[in-house]
Amino acid sequence: MKAYNLDAIGDKPALAQMQVPSPAKGEIRIRITACGLNFADLLMIEGKYQDTPNAPFVLGMEVAGVVDDLGEGVTSPAVGTRVAVFAGKGGLAEYGCFPAERAIPLPDSISDVEAAGFQIAYGTSHLALDYKARLQPGETLLVLGAAGGVGLTAVEIGKVMGARVIACARGADKLEIAKQHGADHLIDAKTEDIRDVVKSLGGADVVYDPVGGDQFEAAFRATNPDGRLLTIGFASGTVPPVKANHMLVKNLTVIGMYWGGYLKFNAKALTDSLATLFQWHSEGKIKPHVSHTLPLDRVEEGLALLRDRKSTGKVVITI
């Protein structure tokens, strides 16, 4: 089979011919049809992601496809079932073996391409806004990086939860995408002062930040007393310092949020969240936005779109 493999941390990954794997005890094998790309894939190549596997390994964190073999002790999902899996690795290949307990049977309402880019982005935003920040109807939500893979889902989910959403992104085209997905107010990070605009709109009660750097600092200063700031990631490349004295004076809460970590200590929180999200999708409340769909032999183009911030929503590789 073909697979996009990384031989050593820091090397350039490449397509390689590999043996089709056999499922171990507790695993299923999937004939993979689509794999969502994530900024974390770029970090893994450099060994900078918090859950970087030991090399060599096949890249690709989240997949959709069809179950085609069962390992020892596995009875479901049955062979032929269409599923999505948060894999962590191994998704950019024609076949992959993954723990059966992570497989989610897919409703007819969602395509393989949508499902492959659904779990991490929507799962992160829903768990962050609902379970962690307890976003309430009528509150103001500021979303940084609002046209990106996770940011756009935060805009959508914030609206479904009844918030007033301020979307911050770079450039008119990206802001238009955020507007189409429900944003009430728009901030162009290229030309506008985030702090001044947010304060002029009454401040933020909850901040969703996958960007970090100077944007976190501006959002921090524009957060209302008793506000909550979610640190989702650092796409800017800069981890911002947190001023604990300002947190104290304004009664602010800064909340770390790593979706994949819940698999290790509270997997039920993830499965409950995903069940809600798939129900919302079937009801038409959320609609995944995939800006680019590319074949397996063009993975490098897809990763470059993420690296250069030229994508909106998700980039998905079809296999």
pLDDT digit string, tens, across residues 235-248: 888 999 999 999 99
What pLDDT score does 149 carry? 86
**Which amino acid is it at 112?**
D
What pLDDT score does 198 carry? 98
**Euclidean distance between CA atoms 39 and 54, whole angstroms:** 18
pLDDT at 214 over 90: yes
Average confidence (pLDDT) over 83-97: 95
Fold of the CATH domain 2-118+288-318: Quinone Oxidoreductase; Chain A, domain 1 (3.90.180)
> Which residues lie closer than 8 Å to 287 by C-beta, 6 or more apart?
156, 181, 281
Average confidence (pLDDT) over 74-91: 94
Average pLDDT, the chain: 94
Summarize pLDDT for 142-199 with one digit per residue, the tens: 999 999 889 999 999 999 999 999 999 999 999 999 999 999 999 999 999 999 999 9
Q: How many CB atoms lie within 10 A of CB 110?
A: 18
The distance in angstroms from the start CA to the end CA of the chain is: 11
**CA distances, 143 to each of 128, 180, 200, 206, 254 (Å):** 12, 15, 16, 9, 15
Cα torsion through 123, 126, 132, 134, rounded to 10: -170
pLDDT at 309 over 90: no
- Do the domains at 2-118+288-318 and 120-260 have one common CATH topology? no
DSSP 8-class letter at 171: S
User: Domain boundaries in the chain?
Assistant: 2-118+288-318, 120-260
Place of tokens 């390992």: 71
Strand, coil or helix: 306: helix
φ, ψ at 296 (rounded to 5°): -60, -35
DSSP 8-class letter at 297: G
Fold of the CATH domain 120-260: Rossmann fold (3.40.50)
CB 254 within 8 A of CB 242: yes
pTM, to two decimals = 0.85
Q: How many CB atoms lie within 10 A of CB 115?
A: 27
Residues for the chain: how many in total?
319
DSSP H or E stretch at residue 63: strand 62-70
Average confidence (pLDDT) over 56-85: 96
CB 69 within 8 A of CB 29: yes
